[in-house]
Chain A
Amino acid sequence: MKKSEVPQDKSNLSEHNIKEICYAVDDSGNYSTALSSGWEAKTVVQKQTIEAINERIEEARQKVQKGEASPILYFMELHKMDWQILSGYVDMWQWRVRRHIRPDVFKKMNHRLLSRYAEAFDISIEELQNYKGE
């Protein structure tokens, strides 16, 4: 990449006034650094990623609303987590976390167990229990 080709597109970074460093070649063929405000290709895939996450959150919300899943699913998606990450935070096996997504199992969960999830999501137990997908 030549220095003159370092992309200066509008991006999530430029909105926050952040620039990143790129290595590029100057006219005499020597490497140096240049600041970039962003690159279209990156912005596109970031947008896609955020959209995909929002879709997952919305799907989870609807499932909770219909009573097909416990609020844990919604908060997991909201915090950009997956089974593996969440099971790390609550320190339980993945199969156990997956089981806690079942509304009937969730209802029977004791205070201690709920508090682990509440802590992982940085909310109170009441907020976790009372989330109805609205």
Chain B
Amino acid sequence: MQLNFTHHQTAHCENGVASNLLRDKGYDISEPMVFGLGSGLFFVYLPFLKVNHAPAISYRPMPGWIFNRMSKRLNIKINRVKFSDKGKAQAALEANLLQQIPTGLQVSVYYLNYFPDEYRFHFNAHNLVVYGQEGDEFLISDPVMEQVTRLHARDLEKARFAKGVLAPKGHLYYPTYIPEKLDLEPAIRKAIKQTCRDMLAPVPIVGVKGIRMVARHIVKWPKKHGVRKANHYLAQMVRMQEEIGTGGGGFRFIYAAFLQEAAEILNQDIMRAFSREMTDIGDLWRDFALSASRVYKKRSNQDDVYQTLSQQLLHIADLEEDFFKRLKKAI
């Protein structure tokens, strides 16, 4: 059985699932619009929490928040269910398909064998849509893939019941009510305000302040943990920044695309200028990723390399602080 579902590839999984589920219902909401309306741009540094044996850095809010915030702002209702029983979780998914409901799932990347091995980690906050079933296989629309794909029921069950941080617990979700006309303008204003608030939060590990804290720590890493570990930390930072989750440059470009769309809807030309500025900041994030990866490649261990990286980040933090302060006033 196969539902009539159109797959669109996107840069980021949660935006992608949200955007694809809405498009399926006939609403033309782009990925950047979902990301912007869900206040997806974020930064938090959790030095005490280790992921892949390196300090955790997240470039996005908690999984599910982007879709939830967007839905709240647009008055969309989503039904979310978690399960303790694996059998019931699969039965609920199958029941949904029978009712012609393409269903979003939270899964672990580790069990998705259509990804190359290099991408398969115990990351539990990936999202995809199931739009059909054929024998033992489920038909999958994974938004970061170019084409739709398939997954054996056994693997999908493992992915839905993966353990560890942010364990999905069989989590499935789908929109149950969407207003006929989406009132974008007030939603955009609210969402931008929230992003400004998040990025300027007076919390040392969040937003611009969080970026500065990482910058300060980078200089200390080689002395405190040795060059090997410091370089491993840097590599993990870049991975979280630029890989499937695409956080640093990638997210800035999506946000810039959102601001460009917002300029038209709000009829505020200044948003286009903000969009250009955000693009430039995104380029700086990419420069940072490139320099960081080169440190590892050359196995260079002079202190000034870490100094330079730290300076690059501090510069980004300064620009973003100024950017969000002005954006807050303009909105």
A116 to B242, CA, bound (A): 35
Does B223 interact with chain A (Cβ within 8 Å)? no
**Smallest CB separation, B45 vs chain A (Å):** 18
Does A93 interact with chain B (Cβ within 8 Å)? no
Residues in B whose Cβ lies below 8 Å from that of A52: 53, 232, 235
Within 8 A of B (CB), among A63-113: 80-82, 84-85, 88-89, 91
**Smallest CB separation, B235 vs chain A (Å):** 4
A-B contact count (CB 8 A): 114
Instruction: Assess the A12–B118 pair: CB atoms within 8 A.
Output: yes
Contact among A29, A42, A80 for B243, CB-based, below 8 A: A42
Closest Cβ neighbor of A120 among chain B residues: B163
**Smallest CB separation, A62 vs chain B (Å):** 18
A interface footprint on B219-241 (CB within 8 Å = 1, 0 otherwise): 00000000000011001101100
Does B210 interact with chain A (Cβ within 8 Å)? no
B interface footprint on A21-59 (CB within 8 Å = 1, 0 otherwise): 111110001110101000111101110111010000000
Instruction: Assess the B146–A18 pair: CB atoms within 8 A.
Output: yes
Residues in A whose Cβ lies below 8 Å from that of B231: 48
Closest Cβ neighbor of A41 among chain B residues: B293
Binding site for A on B (CB under 8 A): 9-11, 32, 50, 52-53, 110, 116-122, 144-146, 163-165, 167, 231-232, 235-236, 238-239, 242-244, 249-250, 253-254, 256-257, 260, 275-276, 279, 282-283, 286, 289-290, 292-294, 296-297
Instruction: Assess the B144–A41 pair: CB atoms within 8 A.
Output: no
Closest Cβ neighbor of A83 among chain B residues: B50
Q: Specify the main secondary structure of chain B where it touches its partner.
A: helix
Instruction: Assess the B293–A40 pair: CB atoms within 8 A.
Output: yes
A1 to B256, CA, bound (A): 11
17 A-B contact pairs sorted by A residue (CB < 8 Å)? A1-B282, A1-B286, A22-B11, A23-B256, A31-B32, A39-B242, A42-B293, A44-B235, A44-B296, A45-B235, A45-B239, A49-B236, A50-B117, A82-B50, A82-B52, A82-B53, A84-B165
Closest Cβ neighbor of B255 among chain A residues: A23
Contact among A1, A20, A41, A88 for B164, CB-based, below 8 A: A88
Q: Size band of the A side of the interface?
A: 35 or more
Instruction: Assess the A84–B164 pair: CB atoms within 8 A.
Output: yes
Known: A23-B256, A40-B290. 5 other contacts (CB 8 A): A18-B146, A49-B235, A52-B235, A81-B122, A82-B52
Instruction: Assess the B116–A31 pair: CB atoms within 8 A.
Output: no
Instruction: Assess the B122–A80 pair: CB atoms within 8 A.
Output: yes
Instruction: Assess the A45–B238 pair: CB atoms within 8 A.
Output: yes
Residues in A whose Cβ lies below 8 Å from that of B50: 82
Residues in B whose Cβ lies below 8 Å from that of A127: none
A80 to B30, CA, bound (A): 35
**Smallest CB separation, A120 vs chain B (Å):** 8
A29 to B278, CA, bound (A): 13
A82 to B123, CA, bound (A): 12
Does A125 interact with chain B (Cβ within 8 Å)? no
A25 to B282, CA, bound (A): 12
Given A48-B231, A81-B122, A23-B146 contact (CB < 8 Å): no
Instruction: Assess the A13–B116 pair: CB atoms within 8 A.
Output: yes
Residues in B whose Cβ lies below 8 Å from that of A88: 163-164, 167
